[in-house]
């Protein structure tokens, strides 16, 4: 249980009060006549001031001489104000039973009023019953007060403390309950300076992924003594080989500590993110929410976006530590901690790891969705970083190495958008068939590797495979990924109908995706198609078209589920099968596309995906990325696929800069993912 004290008070002020001379206040001559005011009215006025927190007026006008002699003005007011601040008192409610009408009051007798006090504190309500006594002096009724009106058990010299109990941070698990971000334990590694083998410092630094200078900085602190334990670094419990080497070094010790763990490491890092010490900027922004400089807070990914749900709520206990020797500590009020939520994702961690491993550290991204529910099963960015390294302690040199890595492992690629290349062709075909401008059975004669309209000047459309048999129909165009066919079909379709069709698939608007921010897919920078050349380029995923990888996977859903794109969901608690876009392609058109996508694997250029036991169907794509039309750019490769016999998910994968390789390289990675996760 993680606890900390956030306040102790009253001891000082009690000492101040007890240091006052014990003067006996001689009672003044009491009036024998009927009192000038009723004690009932006086007690009602006192209670109103008490509830309003007007302690100054309470002291000045309502406390009797004996109370003022025992408790100075600054002491009395200081108690009340410190109480409100330290215990975060939000209200004081006081009820009392009014005496029967006509009750007579003798100035020579005390007037007693039973009261019920209810104080709303940080630890919950503090409730008690007391008797409020008024004495008649100086021609009026005055209240006799002592510290028990703060808490009944409070006496001179006692200390009141608030004890904070930290909640357990909520965990993040996958659809099968496998931990993605969990509360585990690790080891804090320390050194006993007097026993430490200095000759092993460099070896130890290497094992702890730190530097000898960093170890020296810890050992040179002013409080360090030869026999003191000096913490140096943290190590994960499952890192057994490293631990064995560490403890072979004389003078090292370990202590078990609670530690946030990320069991899938790099494979899910960009989804889970990580926690870390709160920054000064965050603390300033969140100080009203109870954060302190000692807190850990979500820094990236879901750890950050789900911070409020995962953090939980602190427990608080108000106690009185008695001054009397041997007296038990008194529990005044207690609110138990509310532990953070366990958040279950739709992610399949096994499938995600298989896809990540298949990408083998290549720069790129993948996403997988269930076409019938919209559940997001995979969402990854490669290469990645190990979030456990941030928990164990990330040195500036190691962080700089990550930042300066040319493959940029800190960049969340699944949140970005990229030119999709030919992977968009099935979507274009669906739009053109629904518009009635593309007849899938009608072929066109295409010769040569390039084509242009006579009015285009130097601009030409190029295709990779000029051996496609004529006439080229839709099936042939998809199998051979013929850009010229799609460019000519785009000219038939026209700018307006293509723009409208792409918008019907969700282009130009943010995906309704909760939890992580994803870039919207775009038709162009301004959402318009302004030339025939751009129209042609857009038909095969070039020009200014950009697509998010999760959106790309989702856009293949209508070919399998009756023409709908479902809202992609990341959390198990979300409603499934929420329609985002519908009526996109009729059943007979979808069947044509499914047949051609299977043929693209068996007869086309995704041969590595032609598995014996898993009939994959899909579409490859190669997108050329370059600054200007005259530059020779880099090629990003795509493959989007599903199991034709059992389409439980659609997997879209993109690999950056495939060089001279074809997109079959990506098809091979996708096929490997399907094979590794086959039941």
Residue 622 forms beta bridges with which residues? 637
**311 occurs within a structural domain:** no
Q: Which of the following is catalytic: 422, 539, 608, 662?
A: 422
User: Are 210 and 152 contained in the same domain?
Assistant: no
User: Are 159 and 199 contained in the same domain?
Assistant: no
User: Are 450 and 573 contained in the same domain?
Assistant: yes
User: Are 160 and 226 contained in the same domain?
Assistant: no
At residue 80, does pLDDT exceed 90?
Answer: no
Q: Maximum Cα–Cα distance for the chain, whole Å? A: 124
User: Are 400 and 372 contained in the same domain?
Assistant: yes
Query: Domain span at residue 548?
Result: 349-677
Lowest mean pLDDT among 195-204, 352-361, 621-630: 621-630
With CA atoms as reference, report the closest residue to 387 among 226, 261, 531. Answer: 261
**310 occurs within a structural domain:** no
**313 occurs within a structural domain:** no
Over the stretch 480-492, which tens digit does the pLDDT of each residue have? 999 999 999 999 9
**273 occurs within a structural domain:** no
**607 occurs within a structural domain:** yes
Which of residues 165, 198, 218 is at a domain's end?
Answer: 165
Q: For residue 148, what is the domain's CATH number? A: 3.10.450.100
Which of residues 264, 298, 327 is at a domain's end?
Answer: 264
Q: What is the rounded average pLDDT of the residues 314-333?
A: 92
**pTM here?**
0.85
User: Are 147 and 227 contained in the same domain?
Assistant: no
Q: How far apart are CA 301 and CA 288, in angstroms?
A: 23
Domain count of the chain?
A: 3
422 is catalytic: yes
Percent of the chain with pLDDT over 90: 81
Degrees (nearest 5) of the Cα angle 630, 632, 636?
Answer: 130
User: Are 189 and 132 contained in the same domain?
Assistant: no
User: In which residue are the tokens 């950050």 written?
Assistant: 304
Rounded to the nearest integer, the mean pLDDT of the chain is 92
Q: Who's near 405: CB < 8 A, 6+ residues apart?
A: 383
**Residue 608, both tokens:** 């590595």
Lowest mean pLDDT among 34-38, 105-109, 459-463, 644-648: 34-38
Strands laid side by side in the 634-643 sheet: 376-382, 364-369, 650-655, 634-643, 616-625
- Taken as a whole, the chain contains a residue count of 679
The SS3 call for residue 367 is strand
User: Are 521 and 440 contained in the same domain?
Assistant: yes
User: Are 561 and 500 contained in the same domain?
Assistant: yes
Q: What is the pLDDT at residue 632? A: 65
User: Are 415 and 551 contained in the same domain?
Assistant: yes
Q: For residue 205, what is the domain's CATH number? A: 3.30.1390.30
At residue 32, does pLDDT exceed 50?
Answer: no
Over the stretch 627-655, which tens digit does the pLDDT of each residue have? 555 556 799 999 999 999 999 999 999 99
Are 320 and 170 in contact by the 8 Å Cβ rule? The answer is no
Which of residues 200, 232, 264 is at a domain's end?
Answer: 264
Q: For residue 529, what is the domain's CATH number? A: 3.40.710.10
Query: Each residue of 114-143: b (16+ CB within 10 Å) or e?
Result: ebebebbbbbbebeeebebbbbbbeebbbb
């Amino acid at each position: 249980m993680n606890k900390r004290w956030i306040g102790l008070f009253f001891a000082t002020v009690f000492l101040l009060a007890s240091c006052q001379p014990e003067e006996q206040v001689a009672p003044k001559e009491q009036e024998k006549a009927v009192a000038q005011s009723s004690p009932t009215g006086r007690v009602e006025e006192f209670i109103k001031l008490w509830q309003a927190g007007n302690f100054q007026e309470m002291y000045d006008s309502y406390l009797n001489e004996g109370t003022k002699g025992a408790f100075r003005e600054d002491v009395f007011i200081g108690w009340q104000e410190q109480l409100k601040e330290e215990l975060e008192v939000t209200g004081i409610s006081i009820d009392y039973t009014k005496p029967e009408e006509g009750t007579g009051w003798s100035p020579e007798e005390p007037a007693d009023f039973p009261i019920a006090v209810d104080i709303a504190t940080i630890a919950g309500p503090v409730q008690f019953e007391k008797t409020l006594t008024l004495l008649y002096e100086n021609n009026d009724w005055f209240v006799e007060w002592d510290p028990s009106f703060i808490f009944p058990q409070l006496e001179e010299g006692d200390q009141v403390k608030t004890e904070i109990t930290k909640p357990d941070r909520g965990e993040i698990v996958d659809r099968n309950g496998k931990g993605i971000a969990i509360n585990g334990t690790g080891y804090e590694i320390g050194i006993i300076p007097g026993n430490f083998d200095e000759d092993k410092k460099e070896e130890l630094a290497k094992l702890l992924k730190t530097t000898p200078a960093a170890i020296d900085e810890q050992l040179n602190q002013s409080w360090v003594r030869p026999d003191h334990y000096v913490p140096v670094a943290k190590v994960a419990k499952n890192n057994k080989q490293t631990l064995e080497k560490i403890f072979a070094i004389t003078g090292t010790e370990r202590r078990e500590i609670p530690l946030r763990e990320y069991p899938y490491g790099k494979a899910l890092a960009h989804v889970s993110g990580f926690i870390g010490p709160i920054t000064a900027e965050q603390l300033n922004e969140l100080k009203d929410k109870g954060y302190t400089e000692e807190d850990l807070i979500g820094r990236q990914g879901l750890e950050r976006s789900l911070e409020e749900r995962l953090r939980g709520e602190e427990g608080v206990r108000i106690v009185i530590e008695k001054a009397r020797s041997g007296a038990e500590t008194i529990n005044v009020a207690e609110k138990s901690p509310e532990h953070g939520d366990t958040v279950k994702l739709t992610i399949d961690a096994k499938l995600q790891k298989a896809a990540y491993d298949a990408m083998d550290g290549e720069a790129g991204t993948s996403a997988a969705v269930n076409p019938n529910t919209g559940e997001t099963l995979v969402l990854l960015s490669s290469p990645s970083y190990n979030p456990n390294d941030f928990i164990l302690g990330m040195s500036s040199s190691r962080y700089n190495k990550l930042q300066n890595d040319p493959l940029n492992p800190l960049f969340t690629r699944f949140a970005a958008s990229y030119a999709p290349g030919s992977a968009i062709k099935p979507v274009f075909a669906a739009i053109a068939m629904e518009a009635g401008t593309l007849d899938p059975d009608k072929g066109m004669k295409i010769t040569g590797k390039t084509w242009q309209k006579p009015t285009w000047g130097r601009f030409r459309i190029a295709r990779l495979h000029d051996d496609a048999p004529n006439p080229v129909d839709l099936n042939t165009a998809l199998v051979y990924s013929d850009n010229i066919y799609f460019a000519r079909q785009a000219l038939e379709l026209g700018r307006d109908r293509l723009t409208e069709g792409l918008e019907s698939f969700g282009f130009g608007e943010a995906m309704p995706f909760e939890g992580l921010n994803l870039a919207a897919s775009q038709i162009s920078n301004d959402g318009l198609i302004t030339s025939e050349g751009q129209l042609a380029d857009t038909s095969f995923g070039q020009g200014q078209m950009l697509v998010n990888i999760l959106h790309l996977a989702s856009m293949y859903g209508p070919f399998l589920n009756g023409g709908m794109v479902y809202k992609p969901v990341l959390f198990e608690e979300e409603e499934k099968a929420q329609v985002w876009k519908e009526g996109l392609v009729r059943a007979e058109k979808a069947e044509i596309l499914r047949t051609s996508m299977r043929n693209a694997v068996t007869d086309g250029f995704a041969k590595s995906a032609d598995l014996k036991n898993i009939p994959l169907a899909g579409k490859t794509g190669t997108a050329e990325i370059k600054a200007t039309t005259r530059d020779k750019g880099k090629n990003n490769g795509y493959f989007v696929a599903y199991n034709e016999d059992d389409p439980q998910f659609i997997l879209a994968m993109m690999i950056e800069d495939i060089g001279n390789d074809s997109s079959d390289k990506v098809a091979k990675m996708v096929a490997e993912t399907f094979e590794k996760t086959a039941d």
